[in-house]
Copies of this chain bind each other. A is one copy, B any other.
Amino acid sequence: MAMLGPRVWFSVRQGLSRGLSRNVGGWASGEGRKVDIAGIYPAVTTPFTATAEVDYGKLEENLHKLGNIPFRGFLVQGSNGEFPFLSSSERLEVVSRARQAIPKDKLLLAGAGCESTQATVEMTVSMAQVGADAALVVTPSYYRGQMSSAALIHHYTKVADLSPIPVVLYSVPANTGLDLPVDTAVILSQHPNIVGIKDSGGDVTRIGLMVHKTRRQDFQVLAGSAGFLLASYAVGAVGGVCALANVLGAQVCQLERLCLTGQWEEAQKLQLRLIEPNTAVTRRFGISGLKKTMDWFGYYGGPCRAPLQELSPAEEEALHLAFTSNGWL
């Protein structure tokens, strides 16, 4: 699909005046109440064939297998979805297929971030058209030296103004080299179409501070990784978007339930067994590690697009150990 031209850009503005009529499951927009995004989401991977084409069939199979786990919804096209490696049309087709494959009552978050504000708006609009319930918008980062608070506020405000679906902020410094400043997030939390943040930095002091400073807003904080999920709940986060939930989805949801029901001792035991596997499929071995693990757990992992590389045998062994030594394999 080509980039949207000027005509679409303007029709989007008009479309906004119609109001947002889509209701999914138990959430509703309008009347000043923002949608409720609380819960656990796997950060779904994008399957590729041996020749590096997107394998939409395998995507659907994975999503069907994940469908029985009590997730709140699914994130497609997050960092684990290799979105920077997909064309615009592939990005939209992934969202469209995911919408068909997942249960109607599950939220579909779609990563819609691009470097420019205009492209992000267009992508957000297009993703809404193909069925996304909310857009996850990563901080632009190539010109990070110029991404002042003013620049970020301008960017997100414009996107949220023009997006037909709610916007979730996304701060992931390991990939962007940029942490969305807390004060900036607090200002943005007042926007009626910005509903929360996925914070993948892992600084729980920061997560607590965002919860605290947005307590009078309708704004929800999601942990961006399973390694600090319990700690995030402890300071007021309401969910998590986790790579690990692709393979240990039931366990991550169990951790959620233990936190929500105040069973902190049990929660701690479970959390501690998840840290090493989580680090292994994120920072340590990246998406290649996550996909290899998916193969082990009965999902389709398959190859990554280049330049991401397959694991070496030694890396694969270390990855395996991270799961076996914690009793998961």
By a beta-carbon cutoff of 8 Å, the part of chain A in contact with chain B is 2-3, 6, 51-53, 79, 84-85, 87, 89, 115-119, 140, 142-148, 150-152, 154-155, 158, 174-177, 202-205, 208-209, 211-212, 215, 225, 227-228, 230-232, 234-236, 262, 264-265, 267-268, 271-273, 275-276, 278-279, 283, 286-288, 305-309
Contact = CB atoms under 8 A, between A and B. Distances in A.
The 8 closest A-B pairs by CB, nearest first: A117-B306, A84-B115, A231-B231, A155-B307, A85-B116, A205-B227, A212-B272, A177-B177
A231 B264 CA distance: 11
A252 to B, nearest CB: 15
Nearest to A309: B151
- How many protomers of this protein does the assembly include? 4
A72 to B, nearest CB: 21
Main secondary structure of the interface of A (DSSP, over half): helix
Contact of A234 (B118, B227, B234): B234
Nearest to A267: B234
Contact of A209 (B2, B89, B275): B275
A120 to B, nearest CB: 9
A85, A147, A209, A305 — most chain B CB neighbours (10 Å): A85
